[in-house]
Each structure stands twice: as C-alpha cells, then as structure tokens.
Amino acid sequence: MCGIVGYVGERDACPIIIKGLKRLEYRGYDSAGVALINDTLRVYKRQGKVSDLESTLKGKSLKGHIGIGHTRWATHGEPSDRNSHPHLSSTKKLALIHNGIIENYLSIKQELVAKGYKFKSDTDTEVLIHFIDDIQKHHQCPLNEAVRLALTKVVGAYAIVVISEDMPNTMIVARKSSPLVIGIGKDAKEFFVASDATPIIEYTRDVVYLNDGEMAVIESNSLSIKTLDDVPTTPYIQTLDMSLDSIEKGGYEFFMLKEIFEQPRSIRDAMRGRLIPAKRHVQLGGIQKYLNNLVKAKRIIIVGCGTSWHAGLVAEYMIEEIARIPVEVEYASEFRYRNPIINKGDVVIAISQSGETADTLAAVELAKSKGAIIFGICNVVGSSISRASHEGAYIHAGPEIGVASTKAFTSQVVVLLLMALMIAKNRKTIDKYKLEELLTELDNIPNKVEETLRLNAQIEKMASTFKDAHNFLYLGRGCNFPVALEGALKLKEISYIHAEGYPAAEMKHGPIALIDQEMPVVVISTTDRSYDKIISNIQEVKSRKGKVIAIVTEGEVYIRSMVDYVIEVPNTHEMLMPLLSVVPLQLLAYHVAVMRGCNVDQPRNLAKSVTVE
C-alpha cells in the first residue's frame, strides 16, 4: 500500500527519491509523484508506474537537496494524476504526502470550503494540507506547530511528510497507525524517511522507528521528536540487520520466484536456535513471560488476514491435535467488528507478515482492551503488531517483496508448530517419543522443501497446459484444506484466474456443479488419515470429467492411476505436510501468471501491506 520516501541532506534528493520509490513498488500502488525544493517548490506526479513518472521528469530541472516522493494506492478518489501525491496548499508553498486515511476529512473539508478553499482532488490528503495551511495562517505559528495542531483534530490513520518552500532544510513527519522510519545518514548530516526500511538500507543502517502519536522535525543536521501532546521524546536508534541482497532479485526474474526458492533457508532461519530434537527441546525465546497463559488457556483465538489467516488455520489443526486446546481462527476484520466474547485467560495469537495490517492491528488492540494476552507472530522486526503484542516470536523470513506471500507462509507455519509443541510439552499432552519424532522431522523439513523445489521444471510444463483456464478448484482435507485455500489465493491474486479452495468433502455441496472437462481441479491428496476419503472425492471429480492434478506422497501408486497429472512430494508427518504441499501450488501459480504475461510481483489492485481497513 502507499509508499513514502523523503530526503534532506547534501546530495541531490531526486535520484534518491526515485530509487526509493522503486524499492517501494512491491507494496502495490497506482500512481507516483515527487516534490523537490530548489528555491521554489515543484511537484511532478502522475498515474501509473514510477517509470512513467521518470518519463515525465525527463528534461526537467530536478535540482534540490530536499525532496519527498510517494506511491499512491487509491482510497479516496480514483487513480489519476490529480489525485496522486504530493498535494499542495493553495499558496503552493507546502507539499504533503500521506499514507492512511483521514476519517473525518469531510467535515474538515466543509469548514475549509466555507472559508473559500478550493480543492483540485478528491483525496483526504489534500484536505489535510489545506487544514495545516489554514491553522498556520490562523495561529500565526511555526509550521511544525500547525502540523501538530492539525493532527490533534484529525481522526484516522496516517504517516505524513510535509515540506515547505519557506523551510528548504526541513521535513516534518508524523505517524499514527501507519509506519514511518527515519534513517540517520553519514555523520547525522543527512536524513531519510520512508514507510519501511527498504529505500533506506543502502545509505544507512541506523534508524529510528517513529512511535504512534509522535512527530519529528528533521533538518539536514538535526532530528527532534515529540509527541502530538507536545512532549519531547528521546529518539531510540536501532541498527538494522537487513542486507541489500535480501531486497534485490539476485538473478531471478521476479521476487516471488526468488522467495519461493529461498524457503529451505527461510524455514531454517525460523527454527534456528529454537529446537534440539535429541534433547526434545523446543523454545521460542520471545514467549517466556506469558507462557503460562498459553499453557493454561481455555481457548486460543487466532487472528490474521489473507495468507496469514491460512497459516492460522493450519495452526488450528496443530494446536488442537497436540496441545488439546480449542482454537478459533478469525478474519481480523470480522473479529474486530462483532463485539467478540473474550474471557479472562483467553489468549490471542495475531499473525502478520508485515506486522502492519490495519485490521489485524485493530483486532489486537481490541482484544488487549478486553484483557486478552496477545502473542504476535510477525516477520517485520519492530512492526506495529509486534510492538502492540505482550509477547511474540519473529518468523525471521527476511524481507518479503513479492505481493503474493510465499516464504512468510511456510515460516509462519513453522513458528506456530514450535509454539504448539511448546504448549503441548508444558501441558504434557504429547509424549516424549512423539515430541522427538516431530522435532526431528521438522529439523529435516528444509531438505525436503529443497527436494520439492526440484519439481519446478515439471510444474512449469504443466502450467502451460492450464494457463488459459478460466476457473480452478483446489481441494484438500485436514491440514491440507488451508493449503487448498492458499493455493487458490496464490493463483487468483497473481494470474487473475478465478480459483476457489474447498474442503474436499464439501465440494459436493456446491462446487461440484461447476465441474466439467474444462475444469482443472487440484487435489492435495497426500497419504494421511484422510487418504481413503479423498480418493472418493477424486472419483467424484473424475466421474464428471474434471481434469485432476493430484499432489501425492512420493511412491503413491493408486491415485496416480486415476488422475490426469501427478505431482509427488516427499513423505513427512501429516502435520508438517503443508510445508511441502504448498510449494508446488506456489510454483504452479507463479508459472501460470508468468505465461499469461502478468506482473507477478505487483498484481493489479493488490497491496503488500494493507494499512487501511
């Protein structure tokens, strides 16, 4: 979702801003713009890609040591040049970029219209810059005070950057519920701001994450932070542990493929130092203080969105199976708006790759306010959900740039399994042999994922057969049902082919009506307790001439004889199977999308980090 970049210092700002915007493209956007100050404030913006903006900039004078840039994902008003950011005040001296939503923008707009302000766009952001301008005129105060006063009256979520032609060395930034990071450059004589660290890390590793309700005045040689209540705070400088390689494609055509192939490594990183099979040792360092709440919980609620919600569904099977605690998995967006019943002792596990998803964050805040203990399972270190949680564990997957989540899913499942095993061990609901068996198998999973990735060429070939299909059905049972949902989600989000995931037995209550010789049906039919049942489901599809692609366990012979295509994955414990069975589905979606000419890393209309509800 929208991206922010800003620079003030001795270098030319424009190339830094453009490069930064390109690094943020993965978040999803529909238009881009920059504002630069060199004597005067100039804004260039347009609908389309950053490369389109670059064409607009050709031949223009782009000097200036301060600048801001933005990629917009439309909320208020269609994607268009005029709705793109930065937005200007009517004096054309102030420019603003904004991520998030100003919820009370209409009432503020009405007041401003009554005062004679004219609007060029349909955005809430333009309302905010006129509002700041109006407050500054009315109170005759410095710009930072006008920004502060405006924000105390604003309802909603925002990360903003304001620059002024009259202050050509200053950026004013603020945040509430939308992330903003400040990079401290060489000798603290230059500063960067961004909506996440990716545009910053090639210049500096020293960063300050702005806290909710804080604003900062950044000059070319100083940084001061205070709360919106006007109380100064001391910046907490962190050193980022992120390499430039991790945010570059490293020879792969798309980030998504790179991230699929990174899974043996990312899964190893998710487990590193957290298990010793021979000693039956399993420990998540971040979950200690409140471990007892988990162990004694009467029920566990899991919240998340998208792929993270699917990881939660896998965890439901795992926790109920081995720790014997009832689990409810909820879409964060539904949970937060239906007055959920939270009892004393309930615990909530919030799963989020970005740690910034607005609905998941709001669900966390709601559950916390009702007394639940929150465990955050996030990828992005220092993200809002990780900070809002009582405790948690990072999945350590490294930056995930492709909008379609792949390596985050498998790492989430690994961490959730470790958590389930920790609870089970403490509750004594798992015997030592079973614990050792599962830990040993988990320890070996990266090698099996590596083996599964060797299917790539076979799957690419298969993708060419199905690339023109209009619909796909994905079926699975047990732990593989969430994998069916995830496989369908991957395909629809990047290839735009309609796909549905279903529990295999539920197919006969509806989707079976769709099946004919045109309908590819992916059945995850690995050898587990549902094996016999899923064979019957495959027969039901075949009797209606559906084309079946079966994901089976290596060496399986019976299903092979019934179906049209077979993909063999290595054998593992059924609870760990999602870590293997999801891989061919990721690859299938990837190759189909590439063959259809889709932009795999930046699918239309989607955002990587959904910071609006």
Instruction: Give pairs for 284-288: CB < 8 Å, separation 24+.
Output: 284/393, 284/415, 284/418, 284/419, 284/422, 285/393, 286/391, 286/392, 286/393, 286/394, 287/375, 287/391, 287/392, 287/393, 287/419, 287/422, 288/391
For 266-333, the DSSP string reads HHHHHHTTTEEGGGTEE--TT-STTHHHHHH-S-EEEEE-HHHHHHHHHHHHHIIIII---EEEEEHH
For ligand G6P, the binding residues in 277-306 under the rule CB under 6 A are 305-306
- Considering the complex, state which of residue 406 and residue 572 has its C-beta at the smaller distance from ligand G6P: 406
Distance CA 255, CA 605 (A): 18
- Considering the complex, state which of residue 4 and residue 37 has its C-beta at the smaller distance from ligand G6P: 4
Tell me the two tokens of residue 359. Answer: 């609905």
Tell me the two tokens of residue 288. Answer: 């200690």
| Shortest Å distance, C-beta 331 to ligand G6P | 10
- Considering the complex, state which of residue 498 and residue 573 has its C-beta at the smaller distance from ligand G6P: 498
Chain-centroid distance of CA 220 in Å reads 32
- Considering the complex, state which of residue 154 and residue 351 has its C-beta at the smaller distance from ligand G6P: 351
Nearest to 346 by CA among 304, 314, 390, 315: 390
Please identify, among the stretches 98-106, 514-522, 582-590, 602-610, the one whose residues bind ligand G6P according to the rule CB under 6 A: 602-610
Provide the mask over 404-433, with x wherever binding to ligand G6P is found by CB under 6 A and - wherever it is not: xx----------------------------
Please identify, among the stretches 201-209, 249-257, 312-320, 402-410, the one whose residues bind ligand G6P according to the rule CB under 6 A: 402-410
Helices 124-139, 105-114: inter-axial angle, 10-degree rounding: 50
- Considering the complex, state which of residue 306 and residue 446 has its C-beta at the smaller distance from ligand G6P: 306
Nearest to 611 by CA among 378, 374, 363, 361: 361
| Shortest Å distance, C-beta 469 to ligand G6P | 22
Which residue of this chain has its Cβ atom nearest to ligand G6P in the complex? Answer: 306
- The structure tokens 């910053």 sit at 200
Distance CA 123, CA 129 (A): 11
Tell me the two tokens of residue 424. Answer: 């089970």
Determine contact, residues 523/504, Cβ cutoff 8 Å: yes
Nearest to 525 by CA among 487, 575, 560, 500: 560
- Considering the complex, state which of residue 353 and residue 586 has its C-beta at the smaller distance from ligand G6P: 353
| Shortest Å distance, C-beta 97 to ligand G6P | 22
| R_g of the chain, CA atoms, integer Å | 25
542 Ramachandran zone, left/alpha/beta (phi>0; psi -120 to 50)? alpha
| Shortest Å distance, C-beta 417 to ligand G6P | 18
Provide the mask over 302-331, with x wherever binding to ligand G6P is found by CB under 6 A and - wherever it is not: ---xxxx-----------------------
Binding residue (CB under 6 A) for ligand G6P from 135, 161, 374, 610: 610
C-alpha distance from residue 192 to each of 65, 139, 236 (Å): 12, 30, 16
Please identify, among the stretches 188-196, 285-293, 364-372, 400-408, the one whose residues bind ligand G6P according to the rule CB under 6 A: 400-408
Nearest to 443 by CA among 273, 275, 280: 275
| Shortest Å distance, C-beta 172 to ligand G6P | 28
- Considering the complex, state which of residue 88 and residue 305 has its C-beta at the smaller distance from ligand G6P: 305
Please identify, among the stretches 69-77, 113-121, 479-487, 605-613, the one whose residues bind ligand G6P according to the rule CB under 6 A: 605-613
| Shortest Å distance, C-beta 353 to ligand G6P | 3
For ligand G6P, the binding residues in 519-548 under the rule CB under 6 A are none
Please identify, among the stretches 227-235, 403-411, 480-488, 530-538, the one whose residues bind ligand G6P according to the rule CB under 6 A: 403-411
Active site residues: 2, 608
| Shortest Å distance, C-beta 608 to ligand G6P | 6
| Shortest Å distance, C-beta 404 to ligand G6P | 6
- Considering the complex, state which of residue 38 and residue 353 has its C-beta at the smaller distance from ligand G6P: 353
Question: If binding is defined by CB under 6 A, does position 357 make contact with ligand G6P?
Answer: yes
Residues 345-369 as b/e (b if ≥16 CB within 10 A, e otherwise) read ebbbbbbbbbbbbbbbbbbbbbbbe
| Shortest Å distance, C-beta 1 to ligand G6P | 9
Determine contact, residues 424/322, Cβ cutoff 8 Å: yes
- Considering the complex, state which of residue 23 and residue 608 has its C-beta at the smaller distance from ligand G6P: 608
CB neighbour list of residue 536: distance below 8 Å, 6 or more residues apart = none
| Shortest Å distance, C-beta 175 to ligand G6P | 18
Distance CA 148, CA 229 (A): 8
Nearest to 414 by CA among 301, 180, 572: 572
Please identify, among the stretches 130-138, 226-234, 387-395, 397-405, the one whose residues bind ligand G6P according to the rule CB under 6 A: 397-405
- Considering the complex, state which of residue 136 and residue 611 has its C-beta at the smaller distance from ligand G6P: 611
CB neighbour list of residue 477: distance below 8 Å, 6 or more residues apart = 503, 504, 505, 530, 533, 534, 537
Please identify, among the stretches 98-106, 427-435, 461-469, 604-612, the one whose residues bind ligand G6P according to the rule CB under 6 A: 604-612
Binding residue (CB under 6 A) for ligand G6P from 4, 210, 313, 403: 403
Binding residue (CB under 6 A) for ligand G6P from 291, 514, 562, 606: 606
Nearest to 487 by CA among 497, 597, 27: 497
Q: What share of the chain is helix, strand, coil (3-state, %, to 5)?
A: 40, 25, 35
Strands 31-38 and 40-47: antiparallel
Provide the mask over 335-354, with x wherever binding to ligand G6P is found by CB under 6 A and - wherever it is not: -----------------xxx
- Considering the complex, state which of residue 180 and residue 228 has its C-beta at the smaller distance from ligand G6P: 180
Binding residue (CB under 6 A) for ligand G6P from 121, 220, 360, 581: 360
Residues near ligand G6P, by CB under 6 A: 305-308, 352-354, 357, 360, 403-405, 606, 608-610
